Each structure stands twice: as C-alpha cells, then as structure tokens.
C-alpha cells in the first residue's frame, strides 16, 4: 500500500492535473470555458489564455472526510483509533465503501477564434486523476484491534491516470436546417504520462492472539517511465515478493484519442436545452509492469497486531510504522515484469441542461443540469440548480445548489470580463468548517480560477 500510494501520487504529479470542469459556469454569460463542458457552447469573442493560468481546476470529492478519521479529545486532535473515541462514534461516520478522489485540470495554452463558418478552439491541457476506494471493514479492524476473529477487507481499489491533451474544437449554427440548433465537436490527441491500477480483490484475515492467516488475491499494474518493481526474499515462504517501485525516469509512454460532442437547442426566446458527451475515447499505455498474487494466496504472519491503547507496545502508531514498511509482505505479490501495453477507456461525462430566461428581467437566467461521470466503481452523478445574473456587460455571477452521489453542496462563480481582460473565480463545492491547518473537514472541495484576454 505504501508503494501503491506513491505510484498513485506520482501519476497525478506527472502532469500536475486531473480531468475536471467547474460546472458552476455552465450557464454563466462570458465564462470562457463553457466549450469544455459542451463544445457547442462557444463564445462569439476571440480570446487567448494566459499561459498556465488560463483555466486552473483543483478538486477533491468523496464520502470519506477528514472529520471521519480525526477527532477532538480533551482539546487535542487525535486519530480515530484513540481509545478516547468510542467505536460506535467512529463507525457512524464510516461507510460500507469509502471513496476519495483528487481531480484537477490545468490549461497550459488555449485560444478561440471565429473562422470557417463557425467558432474554433485550441487547448493544451495537463490532465490526471487519482481515486481510491476502501471498505469500511478496514476501519473497523484498525479501531477494534483483535476484537473479532475474522475480517474481510476485500475490494480495495486505487487508480490514477496522467496525460497531456491537445484539443481542437469547432462549433457552428445549424439554424439553416433546424432553427435554434447549434452543434460542436472537439477532437483530442492524448499523450500518456502515467497510469496506475490496483485491485485488491480478496483479503480475508483470520486473526489470532499471535498472528494472522490471510487469503489474498491482488494485482497492480503500473505505467510510469521505466518503472520496475523491487523485490525482497521471504525466508519463511522461500519466495521473492514485490516490496517497492523503482523509477529513474519519467516521460511519455502512451497515446490515445478522445472526442467531445455537444449540441444546444433554443426553443424560443425563454428556453434553451443542451446535451453533451465528453471524453469518449481511450489511452493505450506501453511498458506496463505487473505485480500479482496470480490467484488466491495464503500467507501467515505474526505482524500487525493492533491495540487501540496508545500506551501499548503494539499501539496503532507503533504498529503502523512496521506495517508501513512491509505491508506488501502480507500480499506476497509476484513480480511478473513487463506485460506489454494496457488500454484504458476515458472516464466519459454526460451533461444535460435546461436554461430559462426570466421574462421580467432578462439579465437573470435559471439553469438546471445533470452531470454523470462514468468511471466504473467511482461513477458519480449530481443535479445542479443555478441562478445566473449579468447586470452589466463586464460582470456576471452565479450561485447554485447541487445534490448528488456525495451529498449536497453550494457552488458559485464571479466573472469579470471588461474589454481585453477576463478574470473568473468559482467553486462547485464550497468547503464548510476548516481544521486548524485550514484543511477542509469535508472532502468535497473544488476551485476554478483563470485569466484570459478576449479581443
């Protein structure tokens, strides 16, 4: 797990970002990057982005929150394993499946211009994503120690993707054939930087006073430069097992294609509807290295006997140090070396929206949209209701409420766009209470910032 986390973070860092858009701006007048949520939603003004600062998205989402693992006991912040925190209180905040994802997207270069009978966009983005899923039984085991004789901590998942994206888009008015219809498409050339995929399908632990018997089934696939797994010999089993990852260089090691498709339809002067399908495509990574149990594996160990008492020799903090350095010994993964290329589908997104212009004050618009992000076990969906106002030509703003897979959230965006300059700042998920270190206690936080130059 130590090295799995390292590879996952490395994949995200390889490009500095993850596929993410801030949907608070979907209906907002003057928001430059609406075309990334629906390629038919292009502006009529040419623009160029400030390099590296044109469109920065940083986001985190999930149902495992900081407040679920950190607690206050006698004025001190302690881990959930502290005996001063009751098991019932901890487990009330833990789900059967606990998920956490990091999502970011950084626009390196971008521009838009009118030509060829429509509007065209060019974007170069750094994209990455990192997600993990952990069953609640893991937290139960760490909290209770050896209170139970058997734990099933199967179905641990972790994945990360990192790639560069060159996107070419075009949209045009099709009112000549269908009044009120506009369509757009974006072709994406994808250059893979890193990928990590870990599946711990089985981990059935039978705990005794002096050790564990574990039946495991797991596999890890890594694409990261010239990465190689490190191995260590176990005298008890007579087997070499994977216990680390060696990476001496990082570079492009994959290629893929993607496409965005979108359309808008204006029914009348008050109503407009929109539909988009984003990130339809794939990336094929080369030089995949695999670590696997190659089926079910039984391992016996006398390590990692946790005690919820902080003063005990085998307290969580003491035992974690040993666990951190040799967790992979529990799984005894074989180093299968390079296994060729590995192809992953992109995480597609479906956006469906309806916009209503308020007839008594036409600078006020209301929008309702659904966003569904298709990513296997990490699939999410949410509905967002927004009020969008543009009282003057150089300023627009929105406030919205969303309800979805990870609960309710409040979003907003302000957009200043006088002639020749554009600055926007917004959030899809506004954090609530913060820890002393200004870390959100809720895992759902998303920020969007950008500087562009319209002309």
- Segment 403-426, tens digit of pLDDT: 999 989 999 999 999 999 999 999
Decide which of 328 and 392 is more confident.
392
**What pLDDT shows up at residue 310?**
59
Decide which of 363 and 81 is more confident.
363
Q: Are 289 and 205 in contact (CB under 8 A)?
A: no
Q: For residue 257, what pLDDT band results from cuts at 50, 70 and 90?
A: very high
pLDDT at 16 over 70: no
Q: For residue 103, what pLDDT band results from cuts at 50, 70 and 90?
A: confident
Pick from 77-91, 99-113, 246-260, 359-373: least confident = 77-91
**What pLDDT shows up at residue 434?**
65
Q: For residue 56, what pLDDT band results from cuts at 50, 70 and 90?
A: very high
Q: Which residue has the tokens 């801030």?
A: 22
**What pLDDT shows up at residue 420?**
94
- Is 362 exposed, middle or buried, given 0-12, 13-18 or 19+ CB atoms closer than 10 A? exposed
Calculate mean pLDDT across residues 393-409.
94
Percentage of residues of the chain with pLDDT beyond 90: 56
Decide which of 142 and 335 is more confident.
335
**What pLDDT shows up at residue 3?**
35
Q: Are 169 and 121 in contact (CB under 8 A)?
A: yes
Gap between the Cα atoms of 34 and 388, Å rounded: 14
Give the chain's largest Cα–Cα span: 80
**What pLDDT shows up at residue 143?**
78
**What pLDDT shows up at residue 72?**
82
Gap between the Cα atoms of 103 and 450, Å rounded: 17
Q: Which helix (H) or strand (E) holds 7?
A: helix 2-15
**What pLDDT shows up at residue 234?**
82
Q: Report CA-CA distances (Å) from 254 to 125, 165, 167, 257.
A: 16, 12, 17, 11
84: tokens are 């001063």
Calculate mean pLDDT across residues 239-247.
87
396: left (phi over 0), alpha (psi -120 to 50) or beta: beta
Q: For residue 7, what pLDDT band results from cuts at 50, 70 and 90?
A: very low
Sheet strands (E) in 50-180: 56-62, 70-73, 76-79, 97-115, 118-135, 150-152, 156-173
Gap between the Cα atoms of 403 and 379, Å rounded: 15
Q: Are 304 and 316 in contact (CB under 8 A)?
A: no
CB atoms within 10 A of CB 13: 16
Computed over every residue of the chain, the mean pLDDT equals: 86
Gap between the Cα atoms of 174 and 402, Å rounded: 32
Gap between the Cα atoms of 21 and 35, Å rounded: 10
| DSSP 8-state secondary structure symbol assigned to residue 315 | B
Calculate mean pLDDT across residues 321-338.
72
| Rg of the chain in Å (alpha carbons) | 25
Gap between the Cα atoms of 10 and 376, Å rounded: 22
Percentage of residues of the chain with pLDDT beyond 70: 85
* pLDDT tens string 420-452: 999 999 999 888 776 665 566 677 888 999 999
Calculate mean pLDDT across residues 232-243.
84
Which residues partner with 128 through β-bridges? 104, 162
How many CA within 13 A on the CB side of residue 264? Answer: 23
Q: For residue 210, what pLDDT band results from cuts at 50, 70 and 90?
A: low
Calculate mean pLDDT across residues 290-316.
71
Residue 244 CB contacts under 8 Å (≥ 6 apart), including other chains:
3, 229, 230, 232, 328
Q: What are phi and psi of 261, to 5 degrees?
A: -130, 140
* pLDDT tens string 217-237: 999 999 998 889 999 888 877
pTM assigned to the model: 0.86
Q: Report CA-CA distances (Å) from 369 to 28, 136, 180.
A: 13, 32, 19
Q: For residue 66, what pLDDT band results from cuts at 50, 70 and 90?
A: confident
Q: Are 333 and 293 in contact (CB under 8 A)?
A: yes
């Amino acid at each position: 797990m130590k090295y799995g986390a390292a590879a996952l973070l490395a994949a995200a860092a390889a490009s500095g970002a993850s596929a993410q858009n801030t949907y608070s701006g979907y209906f907002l007048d003057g928001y430059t990057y609406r075309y990334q949520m629906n390629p038919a939603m292009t502006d009529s003004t040419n623009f160029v982005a400030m390099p590296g600062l044109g469109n920065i998205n940083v986001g985190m989402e999930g149902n495992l929150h900081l407040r679920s693992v950190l607690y206050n006991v006698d004025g001190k912040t302690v881990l959930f394993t502290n005996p001063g925190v009751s098991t019932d209180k901890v487990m009330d905040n833990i789900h059967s499946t606990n998920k956490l994802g990091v999502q970011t997207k950084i626009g390196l270069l971008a521009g838009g211009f009118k030509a060829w009978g429509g509007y065209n966009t060019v974007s170069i983005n750094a994209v990455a994503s990192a997600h993990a899923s952990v069953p609640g039984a893991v937290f139960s085991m760490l909290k209770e120690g050896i209170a139970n004789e058997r734990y099933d901590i199967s179905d641990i998942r972790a994945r990360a993707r990192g790639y560069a994206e060159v996107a070419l888009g075009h949209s045009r008015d099709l009112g000549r054939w269908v009044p009120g219809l506009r369509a757009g498409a974006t072709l994406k050339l994808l250059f893979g930087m890193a990928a990590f995929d870990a599946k711990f399908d089985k981990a059935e632990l039978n705990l005794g006073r002096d050790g564990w018997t574990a039946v495991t089934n797991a596999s890890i696939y890594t694409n990261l430069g010239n990465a190689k797994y490190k191995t260590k010999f176990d005298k008890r089993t007579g087997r070499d097992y994977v216990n680390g990852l060696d990476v001496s260089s990082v570079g492009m090691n994959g290629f893929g294609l993607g496409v965005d498709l979108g359309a808008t339809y204006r029914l009348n002067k008050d109503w407009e509807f929109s539909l988009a399908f984003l990130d339809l495509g794939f990336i094929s990574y080369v030089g995949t290295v695999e670590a696997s149990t190659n089926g079910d594996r039984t391992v016996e160990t006398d390590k990692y006997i946790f005690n919820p008492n902080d003063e005990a020799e085998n307290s969580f903090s003491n035992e974690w140090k040993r666990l951190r350095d040799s967790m992979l010994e529990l799984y005894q993964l074989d180093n299968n070396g390079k296994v060729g290329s590995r192809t992953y589908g992109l995480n597609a997104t479906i956006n469906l929206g309806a916009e209503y212009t308020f007839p008594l004050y036409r600078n006020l618009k209301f929008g309702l949209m659904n966003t569904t992000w298709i990513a296997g076990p990490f699939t999410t969906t949410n509905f967002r209701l927004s009020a969008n106002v543009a009282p003057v030509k150089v300023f627009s703003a929105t406030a919205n409420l969303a309800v979805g897979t990870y609960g309710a959230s409040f979003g907003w965006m302000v957009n200043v766009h006088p002639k020749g300059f554009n600055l926007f700042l917004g959030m899809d998920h506004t954090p609530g209470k913060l820890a002393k270190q200004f870390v959100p206690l809720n895992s759902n936080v998303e920020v969007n910032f950008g500087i562009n130059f319209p002309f």
